[in-house]
Amino acid sequence: MRLKFILGLLVVVLLVLGGGLLLKQHLGNAPVPAPASSEAAAPPVVSNAVADVAPPPPPAPVSAAPVSSSLTPEQRQAAIDAELERLQLWSMNNDPASLSNILADLTGPEKEIREAAIEAAKQFGSTNAIPALKAAAVNSTDTDEQIAMLQAANFLSLPPLDFNAPKTPEEIQAMAQRQAAKEARRKANAQNRAAQSPPDQNPPMAPNP
């Protein structure tokens, strides 16, 4: 009776583990979505914020594209180059699958790919990459990589620069005051230089346009 119970329990555990493994492999190798089919040029972009992208699927247990040790150096470099190209494309997307692929490469066996994955995560621009970057930094044994991963996590924690963000009336007024003060300082400095220079040397600079 006890032996049967233990055997049954073992079968259940094995089934659960096997199912989990299959699920992880499936999520980790999610294909890159086909590009959108818009043919015409789109109107001017008004926002590139990607902070609201859905959380990525769990990262795969191994790199999305492991480079086999049985490859020749040329084949190995070709495989690395192909993955770098994929990373560049994923970094320009805004979908969870692309982010998941990028994050999987953070723990890949090739240093060149891991470095590119860090940069791709920065270019993707999602705060959802921060936990994976921090986790990869903890697990890395390369100090430079750890620093790069943590710096990337910090980078992603910052809000994106908005060149045309609307300003409040108070901000516009403060900005005008700063510019006026700056202009006054510049003119005062120019006058001081002119006053301190001998008349035949270092003539005062013309004011900027």
By rule CB under 8 A, what string of x and - marks binding of each residue 104-133 to another protein?
A: ------------x--x--xx-x--------
Spatial distance between the Cα atoms of 128 and 208, rounded to a whole number of angstroms = 45
Give the torsion sign (CA, 96, 133, 91, 104): negative
Per CB under 8 A, does 169 bind another protein?
Answer: no
Closest CA to 193 of 182, 173, 207: 207
Query: DSSP 3-state assignment of 100?
Result: helix
Query: Which C-beta is closer to another protein: that of 37 or that of 141?
Result: 37
Query: Which C-beta is closer to another protein: that of 37 or that of 201?
Result: 37
| First-residue to last-residue Cα distance in the chain | 94
Query: Which C-beta is closer to another protein: that of 141 or that of 168?
Result: 168
Tell me how many residues contact another protein (CB under 8 A).
50
Per CB under 8 A, does 164 bind another protein?
Answer: yes
Per CB under 8 A, does 22 bind another protein?
Answer: no
Asked whether 132 and 103 are in contact (CB, 8 A), the reply is yes
**Position 33: which residue type?**
P
Contacts to another protein from residues 73-102, by CB under 8 A = 74, 77, 81-82, 84-85, 88-89, 91-93
What is the token pair recorded at 138?
């903890």
Distances (CA, A) of 24 to 10, 21, 36, 161: 21, 5, 27, 36
Query: Which C-beta is closer to another protein: that of 141 or that of 164?
Result: 164
Sites of contact with another protein (CB under 8 A): 34-36, 38-39, 41-48, 50, 74, 77, 81-82, 84-85, 88-89, 91-93, 116, 119, 122-123, 125, 155-156, 158-165, 167, 170-171, 174-175, 178-179, 182, 208-209
